[in-house]
Amino acid sequence: MRGPNSNLRRDVPEASLRRLPIYYRSLQEMLLSGVAQVSCADLARILGLDPTQVRKDIEMTGIVGKPRVGYPLGDLVRWIENFLGWNRPKTAVLAGAGSLGSALLGYEKFRSHGMLIIAAFDIDPDKIGQRIHGREVQPLMFLPDFVRQAHTLVGVIATSAAAAQSVTDLMVSAGIRAIWNFAPAHIQVPERVILQNEDLYHSLASLSFKLESKMGVTPTGNGISYAEDN
């Protein structure tokens, strides 16, 4: 009942999902350098993480290791791929062929991680008809039919923030089941749709705060004194 393949995909901590790609990348580099076996302790040493944490994360994929040896490297890489779904290609459509959208369209590595952006849509007449990395930008109004015909499940939002919600709604009504949102907007989706926000401001806030903390800047220097004048 609890064999290596009876992985239930339940209760996977978000934190583990964030670490698995890091392991995956390191493991692939090792693969190139000809390593055959790897232990959690090895990985932990390389990445500066806790060995137990690495083991717990890897256990989630369902792979079973051998004491004193670890895991066959090739197998481990495939188990992670399989667990994350990176070995099962998914098509995606992109809305918003601006600077960011173009960069995403040209990003070949998505393909090797199971994500194929097969079409781009925009509303700007100057953009429509342009070819960007081999795909012709289409009018946004063609998106629903395209999605239905290609059975596409993933939609990438790279429009302005103002347009994000309406484009999302259009995608969802066409059958999209997961939204990857790069616009800095709080968008709403039905329960059944996955929403993944890629918010640069998260990072920017964290970076800015930590840098100032480390450099000794206090956040008291701009004359705000709300509590005094109540």
Ligand X SMILES: NC(=O)c1ccc[n+]([C@@H]2O[C@H](COP(=O)([O-])OP(=O)(O)OC[C@H]3O[C@@H](n4cnc5c(N)ncnc54)[C@H](O)[C@@H]3O)[C@@H](O)[C@H]2O)c1
- Contact positions with ligand X (CB under 6 A) in 85-104: 95-101, 103-104
Nearer Cβ to ligand X (95/119): 95
CB of 194 to ligand X, least distance (A): 19
DSSP secondary structure letter of residue 14: H
- Which of DNA, ligand X, a copy of itself, none is residue 167 near (CB under 5 to 8 Å by kind)? ligand X
* Using rule CB under 8 A, residue 56 touches a copy of itself: no
With contact defined as beta carbons under 8 Å apart, do 206 and 181 qualify? no
* Using rule CB under 8 A, residue 90 touches a copy of itself: yes
With contact defined as beta carbons under 8 Å apart, do 158 and 96 qualify? yes
**The binder of ligand X chosen from 24, 83, 86, 182 (CB under 6 A):** 182
* Using rule CB under 7 A, residue 14 touches DNA: yes
Bridge partners (DSSP) of residue 115 are: 90
User: In 175-208, which positions are buried (b, 16+ CB within 10 angstroms) versus exposed (e)?
Assistant: ebbbbbbbbebebebeeebeeeebeeeeeeeeee
Bridge partners (DSSP) of residue 90 are: 115
- Contact positions with a copy of itself (CB under 8 A) in 15-34: 17-18, 20-22, 24-26
Give SS3 for 70. strand
The torsion region of residue 179 among left (phi > 0), alpha (psi -120 to 50) and beta comes to beta
- Contact characters 187-216, a copy of itself, x per CB under 8 A: -x---x-x-x-xxxxxxxxxxxxxxxxxx-
Structure tokens at 132: 């960007």
* Using rule CB under 6 A, residue 167 touches ligand X: yes
- Contact positions with a copy of itself (CB under 8 A) in 145-174: 153-154
**The binder of DNA chosen from 9, 10, 68, 214 (CB under 7 A):** 68
Q: Give the integer Cα–Cα distance in Å for 61 and 149.
A: 33
- Which of ligand X, DNA, a copy of itself, none is residue 163 near (CB under 5 to 8 Å by kind)? ligand X
* Using rule CB under 6 A, residue 180 touches ligand X: no
Q: Give the integer Cα–Cα distance in Å for 180 and 10.
A: 22
DSSP letters of 141-169? GGHHHHHHHHT--EEEE-S-HHHHHHHHH
Nearer Cβ to ligand X (73/95): 95
Binding interface with ligand X (CB under 6 A): 95-101, 103-104, 106-107, 121-124, 127, 140, 158-161, 163, 167, 182-184, 200
Binding interface with DNA (CB under 7 A): 2, 11, 13-16, 39-42, 49-53, 55-56, 58-59, 63-71
